[in-house]
């Protein structure tokens, strides 16, 4: 009894102390769920940085329709359980009007039942096509579907008359979605996947998988992953003297990849959002203005290169801003206005949502780039 | 007699608190946290039976938790089996599996045991990730139904709160019975000295395996409850980190303390919420906590806090008398 | 390409990855053999080796040899500090408490490194170029040769130290029976500190030498540490050839598993083998059975 009472009291005191909430009615509260730490922090960190940056900028210019935006970011660590807990907190305690994120497809799928039930608009920053297919009433997304990136590679292969590919994908959410799309779209383009290999996110040597690929009929290699794995693959390809064309995914479209892969990066091609090539885009490109502004701001704020992952969060905030500008201030009105977004030129592409399409992007969201002399060049 | 009476009063007190708590916390969010505290309590309790009472470490319990969640999830979402039946199947299968692997694994001791259970956990985790056709792979499995009774579906925080805490209370009741029985005494004997226990006629090996299986089965039940509450499962929730988190819950609360498990689970579920202010750095606090508790409060908070209080009081009294 | 050629490459790849595991595994074994502690933070020392090298190359602008010296010294200091602050004050060093404390330590070291150094992965230049070397039809990188050389050096030095120096013998005595060692006048606490210093130095050296291949970031230590641990267990936690064989075997099995069975399940294959070895021969594959200590 002596121990029991304090124990129980402490337990419940803890719970009550966690419930301290702050309210400031003059602001519009936006929740954000990003995997700032944990394995997907390569997504969550630039996303949080970009979202904070753009919210600060909007507030510095006087906010939206006289109201300041308040961004509440919770770290989900790439874990569905934590994402759901944080989403509940955002909705029930912080009383946000909309949520941006989560960073990964898995976390997004976990949070969807919560927002659908509570009626809060969610703008996911993850790429998985199942997030908005089938369309869910409250769920939108800004990241380009992986299928679009796959199509970009396959179109190029068709042009070069290469029909047999080997795929090497990382066994996490990003890689498994890529693997699914690579296999699903192959037939449509008359392409045959002759080798289908995976590697672990922390693996440090992929020569075994590549040796198997070397011994196959493959005419090209497509590797789907995020740093650092693909850099190891690039080096291993060089080590084994494999001469096949090597494609990467948009998961490595940042200077970091070139830095990690070093000389081995030369000649690698990949589909990418337009961020990395914003300065060489033709002047008529509708996204060019947003892209240049984003890249410059990010460089000023964080002394680092802005990438398209951060762009997903930038887009999400701007889409919300657009909805609020058009007069929406309740979750339901924001949702309705989001759905009416047309021709918004953001970082990820030109968004046009509709009742039947909550992904909102076309094929032109991606360009194919080649790495030459440690820099990007557009493949025409 | 008196101690048995005390135990019953304590337990009834807990039941009363659990029943009345929703009246106190109207807010939906806290109720949602309480749902997870309930699930984590079952897990900490299950692990404490093994770790605290039998003295056998497991760094793979997240795997059993995950197996429960995935078996329930796949059976209901893919094969449309009744959730209660799926839960029963999950518990049975995992108990059986643990019973079988328990024989060779529990032959090991100390860090060998730690390594073996860790390996087992990782193997299970890899299967969740790789068996994409069944588990949905790293992006997870969605569309798992809520549990329901008749036409009554457990689909709100309040309903889930009562559902899960019913299970938690039953688990606590069972554990209390177990540790105060002949088996409990035998377990403590194994913990203190396995050889001595064997000499006294305890079938140490079988008993350890049985506790291991029970612990795994209980974790699987928690997994089923988790799957049906979340309606979604993904592998990242069942990795090595979560196994360590579970061990931390048990250590912080107090080894071989049933109510301590409850405290540990509550603390580790709520702590991250309070550490939000630290943003990226909560992991440091977490590591520090693990070290400090083990170093200075080997009995966990349940035994450590009253001890610290008494020590402080004694010190104060001593200083007073010393000054005089 | 012929299957035989493929298998040759699998073997060579496996051996070179295995050497990394072996080198890390030896660090575990040294601490275990002189203190009976499995240091779950050993993987973080491997990580620190790489991160400190990166720091001294990019921030201090030291030349590579000096950078390596600096990194080893810094990581060793961390290891020693860890022992002094957490292990030594422990009143009842039960295996469970030690496991928990070293796990806590690994979380802490990883967290602090992330806080200071950020979450990015960084490349470290290879010691002597990255022109592949041909062995028959298989290829290997010059960095692998460095790893093989260092591993050989480490086990030789280790053997000489523990067999022929007074300090080494004293450390072994501590592992066999702490109290008896204390009774014959060995400063047990100092020996424990020594073994942490040695294994930290070795762990960080391993981290430095593998970094050009694995690259470095705050979280590389987890998987490398686990694999090193596996290697040590397979080798029966010997500080010598057993662990090296264990590491090489693990590397080859992984590589063959990835190439011939399934790359997705290759880690699972490695851990299943680990479990089987623990079940059948818990004393390791290459050592004689010991009588169980109570």
Dump the DSSP string for B18-30. Answer: HHHHHHH---HHH
Q: What per-residue confidence (pLDDT) applies to C151?
A: 86
Q: Which one, of C192, C48, C23, lies nearest residue C116 by Cα?
A: C48
Mean pLDDT (whole number) for A299-308: 88
Across the interface, whether the CB atoms of B279 and A36 are under 8 A apart is answered: yes
> Which pLDDT score, from 0 to 100, does residue C286 have?
73
To test the contact with chain B by mutation, choose from A22, A109, A182 the residue with the greatest count of B C-beta atoms within 10 A, namely A109
Do residues A78 and A40 make contact, with C-beta atoms less than 8 angstroms apart? Answer: yes
- What pLDDT, on the 0 to 100 scale, is given for residue A24? 45
Q: How far apart are the first and last CA of chain A?
A: 77
Contacts of B73 (CB under 8 A, 6+ apart): B141, B144, B227, B233
Q: What residues of chain C lie within 8 A of the CB of A259, using their CB?
A: 122-123
pLDDT digits (tens, 9 = 90+) for A19-61: 444 444 578 999 999 999 888 888 999 999 999 999 999 999 9
Predicted structure pTM score = 0.90
pLDDT at A310 over 50: yes
Name the residue with higher pLDDT: C93 or B320: C93
Q: Residue A238 has what pLDDT?
A: 92
Min distance C160 CA to chain A CA atoms (Å): 32
Q: Is B22 on the interface with A (CB under 8 A)?
A: no
| Largest CA-CA distance found in chain C, in angstroms, rounded | 65
| Residue B262 φ then ψ, to 5° | -60, -45
Residue C258 CB: number of other CB atoms within 10 A? Answer: 31
A272's enclosing H/E stretch is strand A269-272
The pLDDT value recorded for residue C294 is 34
Q: Which of C103, C267, C294 sits opposite B244 (nearest CB)?
A: C103
- Angstroms from C232 CA to nearest CA on chain B: 11
Burial of B123 (0-12, 13-18, 19+ CB in 10 A): buried
- Report the percent of chain A where pLDDT is more than 70: 93
Q: Is C213 on the interface with A (CB under 8 A)?
A: yes
Q: Which residue of C has its CA nearest to B300?
A: C97
Distance from C-alpha of A134 to C-alpha of B80, rounded to nearest angstrom: 20
- On chain A, the residues whose CB falls within 8 A of the CB of C222 are 202
pLDDT at B148 exceeding the cut of 50: yes
Q: Where are the domains of chain B?
A: 26-241
Calpha distance B141→B235 (Å, rounded): 9
Rounded distance, CA C9 to CA C17, Å?
12
Overall size of chain C counted in residues:
294
Is pLDDT above 90 for B285?
no
- The per-residue pLDDT for B202 is 78
Q: Is C278 within 8 Å of B115 when comparing Cβ atoms?
A: yes
* Element holding B148 (H helix, E strand): strand B148-149
Measured torsion, CA atoms of residues A331, A337, A342, A347, in degrees rounded to the nearest 10: -30
A92-102 per-position pLDDT tens digit: 989 999 999 89
> Which subunits count as partners of chain B given 3+ CB pairs below 8 Å?
A, C
Question: Where does the pLDDT of residue B187 fall: very low under 50, low under 70, confident under 90, or very high at 90 and above?
Answer: confident
Q: What percent of chain B has pLDDT over 90?
A: 51
Q: What are phi and psi of A98, to 5 degrees?
A: -160, 160
pLDDT category at B280 given cuts 50, 70, 90 is low
Q: Which helix (H) or strand (E) holds B296?
A: helix B282-296
Best B113, B294, B297, B303 residue to mutate vs chain C (most C CBs within 10 Å): B294
**pLDDT score, position C205:** 92
- B6 contacts on A by Cβ (under 8 Å): 1
Instruction: Using DSSP, state whether A40 is helix, strand or coil.
Output: coil
Are residues B34 and B273 in contact, defined by beta-carbon separation less than 8 angstroms?
no
Higher pLDDT, A253 or A237: A237
Minimal C-alpha gap between C63 and chain A (Å): 20
What pLDDT band is residue B324 in, cutting at 50, 70 and 90? very low
Q: Do A8 and B14 touch (CB under 8 A)?
A: yes
Report yes or no: B70 at the A interface, CB cutoff 8 Å: no
Question: Residue A9's pLDDT is what?
Answer: 62
Q: What is the pLDDT of residue C288?
A: 58
Q: What is the mean pLDDT of chain B?
A: 88
Q: Is it the case that residue B34 has pLDDT exceeding 50?
A: yes
- Do B120 and C275 count as a contact with CB atoms less than 8 A apart? yes
SS3 B55: coil
Kindly indicate the confidence band of residue A6, based on its pLDDT and cuts at 50, 70 and 90. low
Compare all CA atoms of chain A with the CA of B277 and give the residue at the minimum distance: A74
Cα–Cα distance for residue pair C249/C270, rounded to 1 Å = 10
Asked if A173 lies within 8 A of B139 by C-beta distance, the reply is: yes
Rg (CA), chain C: 19
Whether the Cβ atoms of residue B33 and residue B273 lie closer than 8 Å to each other: yes
Output B89 or C273, whichever has higher pLDDT.
B89
Task: Write down the pLDDT at residue A254.
Answer: 85
Say if residue B303's pLDDT is above 80.
Answer: no
Q: Assess whether pLDDT exceeds 80 at residue A376.
A: yes
- Higher-confidence residue of B280 and B261: namely B261
Domains of chain A plus CATH, in order, are 26-144+291-362 (3.40.50.2300), 146-272 (3.40.50.2300)
Partner B contacted by C63 (CB < 8 A)? no
Taking only residues 128 to 167 of chain A, the set having a beta carbon closer than 8 angstroms to any beta carbon of chain B reads 128, 130
pLDDT under 50: residue ranges of chain C: 289, 291-294
Percent of chain B with pLDDT over 70: 94
Average pLDDT over residues A176-185: 92
The answer to whether the Cβ–Cβ distance between C258 and A260 falls below 8 Å is no
* Tens digits of residue pLDDT in B204-237: 889 999 999 999 999 999 999 999 999 999 998 9
């Amino acid at each position: 009894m002596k121990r029991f009472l304090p124990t129980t009291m402490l337990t419940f005191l803890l719970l009550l102390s966690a419930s301290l909430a702050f309210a400031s009615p003059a602001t519009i509260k936006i929740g954000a769920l990003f995997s700032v730490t944990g394995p997907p922090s390569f997504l969550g960190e630039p996303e949080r940085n970009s979202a904070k940056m753009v919210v600060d900028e909007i507030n510095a210019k006087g906010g939206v329709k006289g109201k300041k935006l308040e961004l509440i970011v919770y770290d989900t660590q790439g874990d569905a359980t934590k994402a759901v807990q944080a989403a509940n907190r955002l909705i029930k305690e912080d009383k946000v009007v909309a949520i941006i994120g989560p960073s990964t497809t898995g976390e997004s799928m976990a949070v969807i039942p919560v927002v659908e039930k509570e009626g809060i608009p969610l703008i996911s920053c993850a790429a998985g096509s199942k997030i908005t297919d089938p369309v869910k009433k409250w769920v939108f997304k800004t990241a380009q579907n992986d299928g679009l990136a796959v199509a970009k590679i396959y179109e190029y292969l068709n042009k070069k008359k290469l029909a047999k590919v080997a795929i090497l994908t990382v066994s996490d959410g990003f890689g498994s979605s890529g693997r699914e799309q690579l296999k699903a779209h192959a037939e449509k383009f008359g392409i045959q996947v002759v080798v289908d290999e995976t590697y672990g996110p922390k693996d440090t040597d992929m020569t075994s998988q590549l040796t198997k690929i070397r011994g196959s009929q493959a005419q090209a290699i497509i590797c789907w992953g995020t740093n650092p794995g693909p850099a190891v693959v690039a080096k291993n390809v060089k080590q084994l003297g494999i001469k096949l064309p090597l494609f990467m995914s948009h998961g490595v479209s940042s200077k970091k990849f070139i830095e990690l892969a070093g000389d081995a990066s030369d000649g690698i091609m990949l589909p990418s959002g337009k961020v990395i090539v914003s300065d060489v885009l033709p002047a008529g490109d509708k996204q060019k203005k947003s892209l240049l502004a984003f890249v410059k701001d990010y460089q000023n704020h964080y002394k680092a290169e802005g990438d398209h992952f951060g762009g997903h969060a930038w887009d999400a905030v701007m889409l919300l801003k657009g909805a609020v500008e058009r007069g929406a201030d309740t979750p339901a009105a924001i949702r309705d206005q989001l759905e009416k977004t047309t021709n918004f030129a953001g970082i990820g592409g030109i968004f046009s949502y509709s009742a039947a399409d909550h992904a909102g992007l076309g094929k032109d969201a991606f360009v194919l780039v080649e790495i030459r002399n440690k820099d990007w060049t557009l493949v025409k | 007699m008196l101690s048995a009476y005390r135990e019953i009063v304590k337990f009834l007190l807990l039941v009363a608190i659990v029943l009345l708590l929703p009246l106190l916390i109207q807010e939906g969010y806290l109720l949602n946290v309480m749902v997870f505290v309930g699930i984590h309590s079952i897990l900490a309790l299950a692990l404490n039976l093994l770790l605290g009472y039998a003295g056998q470490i497991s760094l793979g319990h997240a795997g059993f938790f995950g197996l429960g969640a995935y078996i329930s999830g796949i059976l209901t979402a893919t094969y449309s089996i009744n959730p209660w039946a799926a839960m029963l199947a999950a518990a049975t299968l995992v108990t059986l599996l643990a019973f079988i692997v328990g024989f060779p694994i529990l032959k090991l001791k100390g860090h060998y045991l730690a390594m073996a259970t860790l390996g087992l956990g990782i193997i299970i985790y890899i299967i969740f990730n790789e068996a994409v056709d069944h588990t949905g792979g790293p992006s997870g499995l969605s569309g798992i139904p809520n549990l329901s009774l008749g036409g009554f579906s457990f689909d709100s925080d309040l309903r889930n709160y009562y559902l899960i805490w019913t299970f938690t209370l039953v688990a606590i009741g069972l554990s209390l019975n177990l540790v105060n029985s002949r088996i409990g005494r035998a377990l403590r004997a194994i913990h203190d000295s396995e050889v001595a226990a064997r000499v006294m006629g305890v079938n140490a090996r079988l008993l350890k395996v049985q506790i291991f299986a029970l612990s795994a089965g209980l974790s699987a039940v928690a997994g089923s409850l988790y799957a049906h509450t979340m309606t979604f499962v993904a592998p990242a929730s069942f990795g090595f980190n979560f196994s360590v988190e579970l061990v931390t819950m048990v250590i912080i609360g107090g080894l071989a303390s049933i109510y301590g498990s409850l405290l540990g689970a509550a603390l580790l579920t709520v702590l991250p919420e309070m550490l939000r202010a630290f943003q990226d750095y909560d992991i440091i606090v977490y590591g520090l906590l693990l070290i400090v508790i083990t170093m200075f409060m080997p009995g966990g908070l349940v035994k450590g806090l009253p001890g610290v209080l008494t020590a402080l009081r004694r010190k104060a009294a001593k200083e007073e008398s010393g000054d005089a | 390409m012929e299957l035989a050629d493929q298998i040759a490459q699998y073997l060579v790849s496996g051996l070179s990855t295995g050497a990394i595991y072996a080198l890390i595994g030896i660090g575990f074994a040294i601490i275990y053999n002189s203190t009976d502690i499995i240091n779950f933070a050993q993987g973080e020392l491997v990580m620190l080796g790489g991160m400190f090298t990166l720091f001294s190359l990019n921030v201090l602008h030291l030349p590579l040899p000096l950078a390596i010296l600096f990194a080893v010294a810094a990581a060793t200091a961390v290891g020693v500090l860890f022992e002094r602050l957490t292990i030594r004050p422990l009143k009842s060093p039960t295996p469970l408490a030690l496991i928990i404390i070293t796990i806590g330590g690994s979380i802490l070291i990883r967290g602090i490194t992330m806080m200071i150094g950020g979450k990015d992965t960084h490349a470290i230049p290879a010691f002597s170029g990255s022109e592949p070397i041909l062995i028959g039809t298989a290829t290997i990188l010059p960095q692998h040769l460095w790893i093989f050389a260092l591993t050989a050096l480490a086990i030789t030095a280790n053997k000489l130290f523990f067999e022929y120096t007074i300090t080494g013998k004293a450390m072994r005595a501590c592992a066999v029976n702490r109290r008896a060692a204390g009774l014959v006048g060995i400063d047990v606490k100092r020996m424990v500190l020594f073994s942490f210093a040695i294994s930290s130095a070795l762990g960080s050296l391993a981290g430095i030498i593998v970094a050009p291949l694995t690259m470095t970031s705050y979280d590389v230590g987890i998987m490398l540490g686990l694999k090193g641990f596996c290697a040590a267990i397979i080798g029966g936690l010997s500080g010598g050839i057993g662990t090296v064989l264990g590491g090489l075997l693990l590397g080859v099995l992984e590589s063959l598993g990835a190439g011939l069975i399934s790359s997705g399940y290759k880690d699972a294959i490695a851990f299943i083998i680990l479990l089987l070895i623990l079940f059948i021969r818990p004393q390791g594959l290459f050592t004689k059975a010991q009588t169980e200590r109570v």
